[in-house]
Structure 1
Amino acid sequence: MSTADASYINVLKGSFSEQSISLQGTEQFDKLNKTYLSLLQIELTPAVIVLPHSSSDGCKFVKLIRPYVLKGETHFAIRGADLRNLTGIEIEDDAVSIGAGERWGKVYEEVTKRGLGVTGSRSALGGIGGLALAGGLSFFSSREGFICDNVVDYEVVQADGSLVHANSKDNPELFRAFRGGGNNFGVVTRYKVRTFKQGPFWGGAVFYFPDSFPGQIQAYCDELHRPNATEETHIMISQGFSHVFAELGSRFCMNQLYYTGEVHKPQVLERFNVQPQIDAMNSTRMMSLQEAAEEQVKQSSDGVRCAYMNTTVKADAATLVAATAIFNAAYQPLKDLEGVTSAFTLQAYTVSLLKRCENNSLGLNAIEGPLMSNLVLNWWKNQEDDDLVISTFRKALNDIDADVTSRGTDVPYKYMNYAYSFQDPIGSYVKENREFLLKTSLKYDPQGLFQKGCLGGFKLGGIS
């Protein structure tokens, strides 16, 4: 440990209780450092983990660490921080106030009891912050917009260590910047998110066979382009390769289907209940918001190496069929890797969602819509395969982007929640919004604490 490290660690130890400080080499540190989504993140090994128990603890931490960060003696990582103790869920008349350390599953449990819904993660295990700062898709996005569009107040520790609120009246520039600008402007300790009346809805997964996937792409695009397309659907269609499906030849296709109105077997989703399918794996039914999010947890994996990366295109069937073919060719050399699952998932930014983007910083609008997110998701077991997996699908995305550009169906936007470290989601925003984010950063953080000293993506530094 360097003298500088020892200096700021001693300051932190003298200012926080033992319960709020975890040092390398301790059992608590090792346990905390293994709680990331992906084993790739576990390799981030900070000198110390601080666990604030209140917003005032967050203010104190920033004030203490600020001089060391600005002198270049250390860095801190919001993504490597642990806000799990900043809890508390408070239901108000038309909103829910959520501590930054909560999980969406617990939020859903509370709002469901009251016949309410809220735009949040589709997984019960999802944390609050990342989705609510970078965009965020939910079961209700077609009807309600991105998750960030439904946040009505952020409680923020600023770069000077002060605590402020950002909403449409107080610090409105900061409010808009947080709606899509990520962790570039402060540490958010509490979120207030709009609620709405919500009963049970139809949802679940359908597993079927690869020959049907091009037809499902066409059906999806047809639905998105209908002039009277409903705002109640949320659809994700996926295909890929996994040894989990060895009995089926290791290739799989899955539709995740939701209709958020209280309708049993809605007609609009019948085209996606495709035949032939694996009937025993069909989970579609009426479900609560809490049940839908818990089912998503069952379809995820932990204790594996995991990487998300993405691009966005116009919702054109021929373009998407070609993108699928590029993905399928890319994963062929990886099929023998231990524990590998490679999935290509299409999910729409519907026109109704894009119309609700006026007050965020993403720079999307309905003029080009509907759009389609192309998510490449990979899980694998061994560290020695990291470079091969990442480089393979980085090239595949580049090939998809080149093909899409040649067709005139390209869209610059990269979704931050699905972006890998080699991608630049903020750089993909429209120029006006990029300049707004930089201007806001200079106003609220003129010395660049969160640009220079806060590790992790994605920063504003590439903005000219």
Structure 2
Amino acid sequence: MTDSRPPANGGGGAIPGADSKCDLLEAAGFKVLRPSTAAYNAREAEYYSVSARMSPSCIVQPKIAEEVSKVIKLLVTNTTSNWAVRCGGHTAWGPAADIHDGVTIDLGLMNQTEYDAETQTAKIQGGSLWKDVYSTLEPHGVTVPGGRTSTVGVGGFILGGGNNFYSGRVGFACDNVVNYEIVLANGELTNANANENADLWKALKGGSSNFGIVTRFDMRAFAAGNLALSHFVDGASDYQAGSALSFWSYIRGTSESVIISALHDATDTADAPAFAEYEAIEPRLSSSLRSDSHLNMTIELNFEKGFRSVEPNLTANKSRRSNVWFAQTVVNEPSILKYIIDQHNAFVESWKAEVGNDTFSLYTPFQPLPAVLFAHGAAHGGGNVLGMNATNMRGRNCVLHQAFLVFEGGPELEVEARRRMTAYRAAVKRESVRTGTDVAFEYLNYADKTQDPLRSYGADNVAFLRAVAAKYDPEGTLRRRMPGGFKIPEED
């Protein structure tokens, strides 16, 4: 929706005409993709989910940070157009990284990574995918704590926190950013780090896209080695090199749910004792146990994108596939985890009755969130705004629970799917509150658009985010002109 109010900075006034904003950008020398062109259609098709595609008036592709700055200044000063920012475009719902009547600022051409061996810092452009990052760093024998799927974008992943293979050892990805190069709402290009704009530096560690467009992330790198994959929460404080994702999975065409476990060890130990109980589970249907690079492990966890789907290996020759997901956190207690599995199983039967067939899959992954993970943020200086501290976690080991439904059907069935998935989430919330296993934290990168993950960070962190936004965007330009994604909650 186009913003009809005057430009936020009182500048040169709106340029009339439906596509004048795009003409303006093109006249300024930027690469602009227009609707109905092959380049435009190809780029829209690259979104992870069909639900995220919004068909913008045009797509502008800056190549360097200074061009991003100029794009923002032109849009703010000379148009009333709204905009969206795309990095990897991996969010499953819209509008997030795309916009219907406006300009999508696509950072996809800003995908370079440089490694500074002297400072052991990786300088990563904001439009990079994690496969770009890992493949550049691998020859240097180093890596950074990034996405576990190679096609995920750097920008959204880090700004939402960034759970990763190395979280137990170094914390979330955002805790390892030593500097953000960012274009603010007025087009100013600046940096945020421990010594310069330190409040903004902290706010960007989980505060999402509410403060500007990050054009470069400077991250601590460390010796990579190989990861060992085999197929663990209270012991994480003593063994911080492990990473575990377990999917309680009903897969289309099967008769019952199975467990898919992705277990990674950062010490290149394929049979790490921490995973012994996992490996003892029988029957084992298959295993890809091996030692391999960080890059190749993330390639193995890739999901095909483009057909409203998060399910691997789907083709486009069938009816349109949709997905709906959500995320929440509970204390690491067997009773609540069993309740979640019971809800998963009940949902499967309910959805079979709704659609009349079994052309769907439901995945319910569990990821450890041990208390030690969140100590890393403070240890690295500056902290973050995620709220997983004494007030939220209260020193307890927790589990991040996600559920995502993949089904055949269009937007109408997606409405019913979201209603039922919301009911699934609400049932787990009620039971966790009743049993004292509830944790407020909602991981932004897995949250559905019906959730409010920033509010889950706690009142103090939300107040801090509001104060930082007011300081760096006093006109509220980003809230008004960039409507996608999760916004900082208004005061109650």
- TM-score normalised by length of structure 1: 0.89
Pair 1:135 & 2:161 matched: yes
Superposition map of 1:138-153 within 5 A: 138-153=164-179
- Shift in alpha-carbon separation, 1:95–1:301, aligned structure 2, 3 A: farther
Aligned-pair distance for 1:23? 1.6
Superposition map of 1:375-386 within 5 A: 375-383=402-410, 384-386=412-414
Task: Render the CA deviation track for 1:277-296: whole Å, top value 9, x for unaligned.
Answer: 334x2012112111211111
- Shift in alpha-carbon separation, 1:267–1:91, aligned structure 2, 3 A: same
Task: Render the CA deviation track for 1:85-126: whole Å, top value 9, x for unaligned.
Answer: 112110112111111122111211222222212100001111
Q: Answer whether contact 2:180 2:193 (CA < 8 A) is retained.
A: yes
What's the counterpart of residue 41 of structure 1? 52
Aligned-pair distance for 1:226? 3.9
Where 1:357 maps in the other structure, the secondary structure is helix
Q: Answer whether contact 2:111 2:129 (CA < 8 A) is retained.
A: no
**Within 2, Cα distance between the matches of 1:134 and 1:227?**
23
Q: Answer whether contact 2:324 2:414 (CA < 8 A) is retained.
A: no
What's the counterpart of residue 40 of structure 2? 29
Q: Which moved more, 1:443-452 or 1:112-121?
A: 112-121
What's the counterpart of residue 11 of structure 1? 24
What's the counterpart of residue 194 of structure 1? 220
Pair 1:230 & 2:239 matched: yes
Where 2:377 maps in the other structure, the secondary structure is coil
What's the counterpart of residue 332 of structure 2? 315
Structure 2: which 5+ residue stretches go unaligned?
3-15, 86-96, 99-104, 304-310
Q: Answer whether contact 1:347 1:373 (CA < 8 A) is retained.
A: yes
Where 1:170 maps in the other structure, the secondary structure is coil
Pair 1:251 & 2:257 matched: yes
Structure 1: which 5+ residue stretches go unaligned?
207-219
**Within 2, Cα distance between the matches of 1:4 and 1:408?**
57
Q: Answer whether contact 2:64 2:110 (CA < 8 A) is retained.
A: yes
**Within 1, Cα distance between the matches of 2:217 and 2:235?**
35
What's the counterpart of residue 399 of structure 2? 372
**Within 1, Cα distance between the matches of 2:157 and 2:246?**
21
**Within 1, Cα distance between the matches of 2:402 and 2:141?**
32
Task: Render the CA deviation track for 1:215-272: whole Å, top value 9, x for unaligned.
Answer: xxxxx4xxx22485311111111112121xx3x5252211111111132311111111
Superposition map of 1:45-194 within 5 A: 45-67=55-77, 73-78=80-85, 79-80=97-98, 81-93=105-117, 94-194=120-220
Where 2:106 maps in the other structure, the secondary structure is coil
**Within 2, Cα distance between the matches of 1:60 and 1:444?**
18
Q: Answer whether contact 1:180 1:360 (CA < 8 A) is retained.
A: yes
Q: Which moved more, 1:435-444 or 1:372-381?
A: 372-381
Q: Answer whether contact 2:462 2:489 (CA < 8 A) is retained.
A: no
- Shift in alpha-carbon separation, 1:83–1:227, aligned structure 2, 3 A: closer
More helix by proportion, 1 or 2? 1
Aligned-pair distance for 1:135? 0.3
Identity level (%): 25
What's the counterpart of residue 211 of structure 1? none
Aligned-pair distance for 1:370? 0.9
**Within 2, Cα distance between the matches of 1:151 and 1:173?**
14
- TM-score normalised by length of structure 2: 0.85
Aligned-pair distance for 1:61? 0.7
Q: Answer whether contact 1:338 1:382 (CA < 8 A) is retained.
A: no
**Within 2, Cα distance between the matches of 1:171 and 1:130?**
21
Where 1:348 maps in the other structure, the secondary structure is strand
Where 2:146 maps in the other structure, the secondary structure is coil
Aligned-pair distance for 1:337? 5.4
Task: Render the CA deviation track for 1:2-32: whole Å, top value 9, x for unaligned.
Answer: 9453332332222134xx1012222221111
Aligned with 2:372 (options 345, 349, 352): 352
Aligned-pair distance for 1:199? 1.0
**Within 2, Cα distance between the matches of 1:310 and 1:227?**
21
Where 1:183 maps in the other structure, the secondary structure is coil
What's the counterpart of residue 488 of structure 2? 460
Q: Which moved more, 1:136-145 or 1:98-107?
A: 98-107
Q: Answer whether contact 2:454 2:489 (CA < 8 A) is retained.
A: no
Q: Which moved more, 1:79-88 or 1:412-421?
A: 79-88
Where 2:201 maps in the other structure, the secondary structure is helix
Where 1:121 maps in the other structure, the secondary structure is coil
Letter in 1 for 2:375: K
Q: Answer whether contact 1:349 1:369 (CA < 8 A) is retained.
A: no
Q: Answer whether contact 1:153 1:167 (CA < 8 A) is retained.
A: yes
Aligned with 2:458 (options 430, 433, 458): 430
